[in-house]
Amino acid sequence: MAKDVWSICFMCTVRCPIQVQVVDDDVVWIQGNPHVPGLEGALCAKGSAGLALLHDPERPQYPMIRTGKRGAGQWRKASWEEALDYTAEKLKAVIAAHGPQSVVFGERTNLNTHISKTFMKALGSPNHFTHDALCKGSVNTAFRSLTGYTDAEMGIDYANTRYIVLYGRNIFESLEIRPINNLLDALEKGAKLVYIDPRVTVTATKADRYLMIRPGTDLALNYALIHTILREGLYDKEYVSRWVSGLEELKAFVEPYTPAWAAQETGIPAEVIVQIAREAAAAKPQVVFHYGYRGAHHVNEIYFRRSLIILNALLGSIEAKGGLIIKKGPKAAGRGDIGKYVNQEFPKITAPRFDGSGGTVFPLADASHGNPQRLAQAILSQDPYPIKAAIFNRIEPLQSIADSNQMRKALDTLDLIVAIDINFSEIAWFADVILPESIYLERADSLQLASGLKPQLFIRRQAVSPRYDTKPAWEILKRLADRLGIGSYLPYETIEDIWHFQLKDMGVSLSDFDAKGFVALSKDPILWDRKDGLKFKTESGKIELVSPLLEKAGFPSFPPYVPPARPPEGRYRLLVGRCAAHTHCSTQNNLYLNELVPENELWIHPQEAARLGVQDGAYVEVESAVGRGRLKAKVTEFIHPEAVFMLHGFGKTVPAQTRAYQKGASDAVLQENLSDMVGGSPAYEDTFITVRPAK
Ligand SMILES: Nc1nc2c(c(=O)[nH]1)N[C@H]1C(S)=C(S)[C@@H](COP(=O)(O)OP(=O)(O)OC[C@H]3O[C@@H](n4cnc5c(=O)[nH]c(N)nc54)[C@H](O)[C@@H]3O)O[C@H]1N2
Ligand SMILES: Nc1nc2c(c(=O)[nH]1)N[C@H]1C(S)=C(S)[C@@H](COP(=O)(O)OP(=O)(O)OC[C@H]3O[C@@H](n4cnc5c(=O)[nH]c(N)nc54)[C@H](O)[C@@H]3O)O[C@H]1N2
Ligand code: SF4
Ligand SMILES: [Mo]
């Protein structure tokens, strides 16, 4: 029997709405939801490779309990009853001996995060954390310091922009389909794209202007852009006088940061800096200085992110058509909010977070996300208390957190490691119990609320029955909760129970999803009135350039510029990133995607390669202060001579992933565990490595 099922792709967390064609309980075709503007049937290579994941025999097929040493790959097959009983008993023992705060739960934010947060609160532990700080912690803090909104509450109106500047936002490879299609439309209508990166990426090749910046100096460039915009009076005076405070302090601060000064620092000619400032100002307010994603992750990340938001503020592009927009949720559309189990009464938790997020370590970081970056230190130092059990759901601490060797050492001291995963990831292989989740095509999940100019709800319905003995995470957590005596906090049995609970105040029913797989909560885009209707969530209701949030915590709003350290003689700054064929560290073993990009290579400039005796295509050994690796060299002029680059997520050590096993090197093994202590992000790009031809 043939049917079409509305779902949401999960080959990466962009979560494109999809239409899945099913014949006789098997998937025959996946395409983007044709009714969604900007998607219209499109899917990326990874999305199409969902088919290979579904049928992959190299994923966990049943619950497993470790029998040998950690990581040795000796397992026994267990029933779900047995594996859940085992996990619950171990958790109870840990809680009895060390208290509920000794249990941590990490996950990549997903549709069921309201359930896992509920699980942890009911357990009495403050230690639920997400990947968020690793991705954009400092962007989040920067936005809150200026506007009161988090980065998750901000978006970009790509379709209507006239001028967009991307700082290592390699949007055509590290992709999101809808934004790309919208941006392509804008470019066709004449919008200009400026791309800044020490490496020539696919996005660089599509730009009107590409600037090979010296790594880590984007902040100097931005101070010179701000200097020029203010000196030449190019800013949006009406917007700034109504919505921005602290302009005089900013003017005084950027005075010394001239384009000539920045040219020395960045390698970008002064006249080009001036031209960009003028071009951007001429397009205002339909301008975007892209504030986010990764790109330049350094210990002063927060100030770089603030400088980007300040540029947008000066050109009046915040809450402007073709600029940045404040995302609108159900309330702005006159609806009730989506139901979340986490909005209920829980027993009071007095222990602080293990990671000091919103506390003693990262006072300004968003405590609702926590910070995985501190996990290894917190375990090893037992500060602020012992951690004894960890549940990892859809997150890979051994590849997504810098310094894997330290992480392995720390995790090995725990009494219990649980992995809820769909792959034999490094962490699953190192765990004590693997609770295999059904993949997105085999399960339904909580509804997705997508806030934006037009808020919408999306649904992931189950397309086919599970190929193996796997379960959705919401069910795994419910069954675990029942065994721990906290099941009443998760009052559901089926996915329909969850959906009804989510929809109860929204004026939407399940059948509303039948026609198109989504429900629009507003007919028209909701933009607030720029004259009088903007609602910044700061105390003054304005964009606060001088930030009480920062200053009350003892951090300056405008610290003097400190140049990034130059690599010591014989070392290179390690830059990392993604490619279009892979998702972080998840897809390297996928049958199709592995064929497209089987391993990572080390990009190195020819002048440096010649000096080191490194040949294009030959193996090199790389080493940092904390780890080492081996991969092929790619000798290319397309990278700044101070830096080398590798794709993130390779260098697998799990033999069960036969296609990816030992291919390339892992960036996380090399990276030192450094952080921006103000913003909360890791400084992934402050590690220096040596390179030599492999023996
Ligand atoms: N195909 C694919 N797409 C994805 C993802 C994926 O895994 N795969 N993941 C999604 C997620 S979660 C994220 S966070 C985004 C990431 O999206 P991006 O931030 O666009 O992507 P990265 O691939 O991390 O690329 C970082 C770029 O920054 C450059 N860079 C390094 N140092 C500097 C510097 O000092 N200055 C400047 N200007 N540039 C620098 C690097 O050379 C690299 O090209 O992608 C999203 N989209
Ligand atoms: N060294 C280094 N670390 C990084 C980065 C980097 O560039 N270098 N980038 C950072 C960024 S931007 C981000 S966003 C994070 C991402 O960090 P992660 O979220 O950890 O990375 P992913 O590869 O997206 O997914 C991790 C795990 O989720 C599992 N998984 C995939 N789908 C499912 C599913 O449906 N259910 C379950 N239960 N598990 C699933 C995968 O098998 C994998 O083990 O990493 C950050 N950390
Ligand atoms: S970008 Fe690709 S992999 Fe990510 S959700 Fe969309 S289709 Fe799936
Ligand atoms: Mo990310």
CATH of the domain at 486: 3.40.50.740
* Structural domain contains residue 393: yes
Percent of residues, the chain, with pLDDT higher than 70: 100
pLDDT tens, residue by residue, 410-430: 999 999 999 999 999 999 999
Which tokens go with 457?
């709800």
The per-residue pLDDT for range 53-88, each reduced to its tens digit, is 999 999 999 999 999 999 999 999 999 999 999 999
Residue closest by Cα to atom 35 of ligand 2: 439
Tell whether ligand 1 has an atom less than 6 A from the beta carbon of residue 397: no
Neighbours of ion ligand 4 (CB under 5 A): 135
Q: Which ligand is nearest to the CA of 588?
A: 2
Q: What single string gives the DSSP state of each residue in 419-486?
A: EEESS--HHHHHSSEEEEBPPGGG---PPEEE-BSS-EEE-----S--SSS-B-HHHHHHHHHHHTT-
Ligand nearest the Cα atom of residue 294: 1
Is 50 within a domain? Answer: no
Counting from 1 in the atom list of ligand 3, the atom nearest the Cα of 11 is 3
- Total length of the chain: 695
**Pair (308, 215) in one structural domain:** yes
Please choose, from the candidates 382, 316, 321, 299, the residue with its C-alpha nearest in 3D space to the C-alpha of residue 101. Answer: 382
Q: How many helices (H) and strands (E) does the chain have?
A: 23, 27
Cα-to-centroid distance, 99 and ligand 3 (Å)? 40
Say which CATH number the domain at 273 has: 3.40.228.10
Q: Is 567 among the domain residues?
A: no
Residues 265-310: pLDDT tens digits? 999 999 999 999 999 999 999 999 999 887 668 999 999 999 999 9
Which ligand is the nearest neighbour of the Cα of 171?
1
The Cα-based distances of 385 to 373, 377, 403 in angstroms read 17, 11, 22
For a substitution probing ligand 1, which of 43, 294, 676, 684 has the most ligand atoms within 8 Å of its CB?
294
Looking up residue 597, the CATH number of its domain turns out to be: 2.40.40.20
Q: Summarize the confidence of residues 397-409 as an average pLDDT.
A: 98
Pair 414, 356 in one domain: yes
Task: Count CB neighbours of 359 within 10 A.
Answer: 15
State the DSSP string of 576-614. Answer: EE--TT--TTTSTT-HHHHHH--S-EEEE-HHHHHHHTP
Same domain, 689 and 584: yes
Q: Distance from the CA of 132 to the center of ligand 3, in angstroms?
A: 18
In contact, 555 and 627? CB cutoff 8 Å: no
d(CA 98, CA 379): 13
Q: Confirm or reject: Cβ of 108 under 6 Å from ligand 1.
A: no
Structural domain that includes position 601: 572-693
CA distance 601 to 637: 15
Question: In whole angstroms, what is the distance from residue 114 CA to residue 473 CA?
Answer: 12
- Same domain, yes or no: 668 and 620: yes
- Proximal ligand: closest to the CA of 134: 2
For residue 254, what is the enclosing H or E element?
helix 247-254
Contact partners, residue 550, CB within 8 Å, separation at least 6: 145, 364, 556, 557, 678
Q: Residue 19 — φ and ψ, nearest 5°?
A: -115, 125
Residue nearest to atom 7 of ligand 1 (CA): 583
User: How many domains, in total, are found in the chain?
Assistant: 3
Ligand nearest to the CA of 587: 2
Residue 425 Cβ < 6 Å to ligand 2: yes
Which residues are registered as beta bridge partners of 4?
A: 21
- Measured in angstroms, how far is the CA atom of residue 180 from the centroid of ligand 2? 22
Task: From the CA of 577, give the closest atom in ligand 1.
Answer: 23
- Both 576 and 492 in one domain: the answer is no
CA of 592 to the centre of ligand 3 (A): 15
Q: What is the pLDDT of residue 608?
A: 98
Please name the residue whose Cα sits nearest to atom 17 of ligand 1.
174
Is 513 within the bounds of a domain?
A: yes
For 87-153, the DSSP string reads: HHHHHHHHHHHH-GGGEEEEE---TTHHHHHHHHHHHT---EEESHHHHHHHHHHHHHHHHS--GGG
pLDDT for the residue numbered 296: 65
Distance 362 CA to ligand 4 centre (A): 20
- Residues 224 and 305 placed together within one structural domain of the fold: yes
Mean pLDDT calculated for residue range 312-319: 98
Angle at which helix 247-254 crosses helix 218-231, to 10 degrees, equals 120
Mean pLDDT of the 241-262 span? 98
At position 504, the amino acid (one-letter code) is K
Ligand 1 lined by 354 (C-beta under 6 Å):
no
Q: What are phi and psi of 82, to 5 degrees?
A: -65, -45
Task: Note the pLDDT of residue 295.
Answer: 64
The answer on 359 and 271 residing in a single domain is no
CA of 253 to the centre of ligand 2 (A): 39
Which positions ≥6 away from 299 have C-beta within 8 Å?
Answer: 674, 675, 676, 677, 683, 686
Distance 676 CA to ligand 3 centre (A): 30
* Domain finish residue from 499, 520, 541: 520
Q: Is the CB of 646 under 6 A from ligand 2?
A: no
Do residues 196 and 218 touch, judged by C-beta distance below 8 A? yes
Residue nearest to atom 30 of ligand 2 (CA): 394
Is the torsion defined by CA of 146, 151, 152, 157 positive or negative? positive
175 Cα nearest atom in ligand 3: 1
Atom of ligand 2 nearest to the CA of 576: 7
Whether 420 maps to a domain, the answer reads yes
CB under 8 Å to 506, separation ≥6 — which residues? Answer: 330, 335, 336, 337, 338, 457, 521
In a domain, residue 374? The reply is yes
Beta-bridge partners for 652 = 661
Residues with Cβ within 8 Å of residue 610, at least 6 apart in sequence: none
Tell me phi and psi for residue 289, to 5 degrees: -95, 105
653 lines ligand 2 (CB under 6 A): no
Bridge partners for 622 per DSSP: 629, 691
Pair 380, 410: CB distance under 8 Å: yes
534 and 583 housed in the same domain: no
Question: Closest-lying ligand to the alpha carbon of 667?
Answer: 2
Is residue 613 scored above 80 in pLDDT?
yes
3-state SS class at 520: strand
Cβ 434 under 6 angstroms from ligand 2: no
- Ligand 1 touching residue 355 (CB < 6 A): no
Asked if residue 311 and residue 171 are part of one domain, the reply reads: yes
| Six-digit token string for 567 | 């690599």
| Same-domain check for residues 165 and 123 | no
- Assess whether the C-beta atom of 437 lies below 6 angstroms from ligand 2: yes
Residues 6+ apart with CB under 8 A from 72: none
Mean residue pLDDT across the chain: 97
Is 56 a domain residue? no
Task: Report whether 122 contacts 481 (CB < 8 A).
Answer: yes
Shared domain for 108 and 185, answered yes or no, is no
Q: Which pLDDT does position 293 carry in this prediction?
A: 86
Supply angle C-alpha 39, 41, 193, rounded to 5.
Answer: 35
Q: What pLDDT, in 10s, does the model give residues 134-187?
A: 999 999 999 999 999 999 999 999 999 999 999 999 999 999 999 999 999 999
Which residue's CA is minimally distant from atom 5 of ligand 2? 400
Same domain for 389 and 417, yes or no, is yes
Q: How far apart are CA 528 and CA 91, in angstroms?
A: 49
DSSP state of 61: -
DSSP-based three-state secondary structure for 159: helix
Would you say the CB of residue 577 lies under 6 angstroms from ligand 1? yes
Return the residue whose CA atom lies nearest to atom 1 of ligand 2: 668
- Alpha carbon distance 180, 158 (integer Å): 8
Query: Which is nearest to 668 in space by CA: 134, 71, 110, 300?
Result: 134
Ligand with minimal distance to 33 CA:
3
Distance 200 CA to ligand 4 centre (A): 20
Angle between helices 473-483 and 80-98 (to 10 degrees): 60
pLDDT band, residue 499 (cuts 50/70/90)? very high
Categorize the per-residue pLDDT at 1 as very low, low, confident or very high, splitting at 50, 70 and 90: confident
Distance of CA 655 from the midpoint of ligand 2 (Å): 19
Query: Measuring from atom 6 of ligand 3, which residue has the nearest CA?
Result: 16
Residue of 13, 15, 31, 46 with the most ligand 3 atoms within 8 Å of its CB, for mutation: 46
Contact 174 CB / ligand 2 (< 6 Å): no
**DSSP single-letter state for residue 512:** G
How many Å is the Cα radius of gyration of the chain?
25
Burial of 206 (0-12, 13-18, 19+ CB in 10 A): middle
Mean pLDDT for the stretch of residues 42-62: 97
Contacts of 542 (CB under 8 A, 6+ apart): 243, 244, 245, 536
Q: Which of 134, 135, 175, 176 to mutate to test the pocket of ligand 2 (most atoms within 8 A of CB)?
A: 134
* CA–CA dist 437, 392 (Å, integer): 12
Q: Which residues of 557-571 are buried (b: 16+ CB within 10 A; e: fewer)?
A: bbeebeebeebeeeb
For the chain, percent of residues with pLDDT exceeding 90: 98
674 domain residue, yes or no = yes
Q: How far apart (Å, rounded) are the C-alpha atoms in residues 44 and 503?
A: 31
Tens of pLDDT, residue by residue over 193-234, are: 999 999 999 999 999 999 999 999 999 999 999 999 999 999
Residues with C-beta less than 6 Å from any ligand 3 atom? 9, 11-12, 14-16, 43-44, 46-47, 175-177
Calculate how far, in angstroms, residue 396's C-alpha sits from the geometric centre of ligand 2. 5
Looking from the CA of residue 46, the nearest atom of ligand 1 is 1
